[in-house]
Amino acid sequence: MTIRNKARQPVVAGVHGLPYSKDIGMTERHSGALAILGALDEAGLTVSDVEGITRYVWQPTTEMEMARVLGVPNLKWFGAQDYGGGAGPPTVALACAAIELGMIDVAVVWRSRNRSSGGRPWAGQMLAEGQDQFERPFGIVRPVDGIALIARLWMQRWGWTREDFGRVAITVRGHANRNPLAMMHAKTLDMNQYLASRMIAEPLCLFDNCLETDGALAIVLVAAERARDLGAKRAPAYVTGYALGSGPEVYAMTNYYGPGLGDSPNTFVAPELWKNTGLKPSDIDVVQIYDAFTPQVPLFFQEFGFCGDGEGAAYIASDECLPYNTSGGGLSEAYVHGFNLIVEGARQIQGWSTSQVADAQHCLVTGGNVVPTGALVLSKEPW
């Protein structure tokens, strides 16, 4: 691991989210601004302290628009990361890099999305270009259609079953039942309900798919030396490290153009993350896995080395399985392109999750593993 400046280590000093809903009743710009103001308040900072803003490319409000809405005096650092669900940790990493380089001391990262009330992005007419020209004529129109093909491959290759996917859906629903802010807080789920639910794209049923949600969340990152002087309301969560990866021939929502059929970009992210953090799987206490679809969870545990190749389904059924998606994740808390996983990672380290893991020292958070993506580790102690 590279020797780093302890004073410049990025720290999550504040997080905030608006209540999730099917119709939030305001624009994404409005809800995003409110989430940022709430996170700044949690951190003991004001708008005048903000020096950097980063966002998802798929965030229609730009950094400059948000700076104007909030009244930020000057942005010294700004930028965006591409690929929807893969952009969560990379967007945080972009802000962290600026802090580590000494370019800024305070950065804001946010995601606001009216996914429920604003409609689905693939519902309208789309140009038949790029990968679309090869997929849409054969009915691969929605994200779930592409994932269904890969899920069937994984099932045939490793013997995974629908019950294995159901176990993921039931586990995260249990976490959501303990989380009063989760969309599925009051709705329990068992295997009989799971198996009886309607198919969306065989072999994936209703409960294998993430929610459709309006939501807005933000985090505030500060340099460790600045964090000591803040009146933050909660303990710091240190960003121990992060990694990004694309892999070859990767397109949105499909893993079947590169040489490793069924492999995800996480096969490139994982070794970089362990190298950059100086950690290994046995050091991690809790994980927040991008879960737009249930099969992504067992695949994560394999690709990050928590178990062997093909053993992901057996691992999640075992007593050794780490707690995952402890707020309910995209399947049962809310779907905000995975940003709620980053916020939950901070909660676990700060000690106020509704499914708190005792003495959690390190939490790993990932982005979507069927697009160029990234991962990060949040920790209780500094480097």
Q: How is residue 262 written in tokens?
A: 């069924």
Q: Torsions phi, psi of 190, nearest 5?
A: -130, 175
For residue 234, what is the DSSP state? S
If phi > 0 it is left, if psi is from -120 to 50 it is alpha, else beta; for residue 232 that is: beta
Per-residue burial over 24-53, b = 16 or more CB atoms within 10 Å of its CB, e = otherwise:
bebebbbbbbbbbbbbbebbbbebebbbbb
* C-beta neighbour count of 144 within 10 angstroms: 18
Q: Which of 331, 327, 299 is nearest to 315 (CA)?
A: 299
Beta bridge partners of 222: 11, 106
Q: How is residue 105 written in tokens?
A: 């001391």
Q: How is residue 229 written in tokens?
A: 């002087």
Tell me the torsion sign for CA atoms 235, 220, 52, 275.
positive
Q: Which of 374, 332, 334, 373 is nearest to 115 (CA)?
A: 334
Quote the radius of gyration of the chain (alpha carbons, Å). 20
Indicate which residues carry an active-site annotation: 290, 335
Q: How far is Cα 293 from Cα 252, in angstroms, rounded to an integer?
A: 14
| Cα 302–Cα 306–Cα 309 angle in degrees, nearest 5 | 30
Length of the chain: 383
